Amino acid sequence: MDNNAVNLNRDTLGSVQIANDVVAIIAGLAATEVDGITAMAGNISNELMSKVGYRSLTKGVKVDIDNGQVKVELSLRMDYGHNIPSTCAKVQDRVKTTIENMTGLEVVNVNVRIAGVDMLKGKKNE
């Protein structure tokens, strides 16, 4: 088995593997869907993903998968004016739920680090 993938033995026809990068992409997309989160730290916003590809969404995301249990570490940028604890709780819930629904893996830990605050979004009309 590939060390960069998790093996899901779901039926007798063969095996199913999910690459760790796929789980990282799922986590990154789920996190950036939360209102107030602008981007993964060191990354571009979700709107530009279609132009540059999803591969760069793994920047700012670390995923560790062991015995079907997933630990995620996210480094995020958020908009000025949003409540940090509340927004981070929404990110943790969204990431956990999305990974579990899409992969069937158990998410045991989602750590969020706010790496920056974007000030410009609220100042467009000034």
Q: Is the pLDDT of residue 40 over 60?
A: yes
Residues in a beta bridge with 113: 75
Which CATH number goes with the domain that contains 106? 3.30.70.1350
What is the model's pLDDT at position 15?
A: 80
pLDDT (tens digit per residue) in 67-121: 889 999 999 999 999 999 999 999 999 999 999 999 999 999 999 999 999 887 5
Residue 123 counted as domain residue: no
Q: Structural domain tally of the chain?
A: 1
Structural domain for 47, as ranges: 5-118
Distance of CA 50 to the CA centre of its chain: 17
Residue pair 89/111 in contact (Cβ under 8 Å)? The answer is: no
What's the CA gap between 93 and 114, in Å, rounded?
16
pLDDT category at 14 given cuts 50, 70, 90 is confident
Angle between helices 20-32 and 84-103 (to 10 degrees): 140
Burial 35-49 (b: 16+ CB within 10 A, else e): ebbbbbbebeebeeb
Residue 125 counted as domain residue: no
Residue 93 counted as domain residue: yes
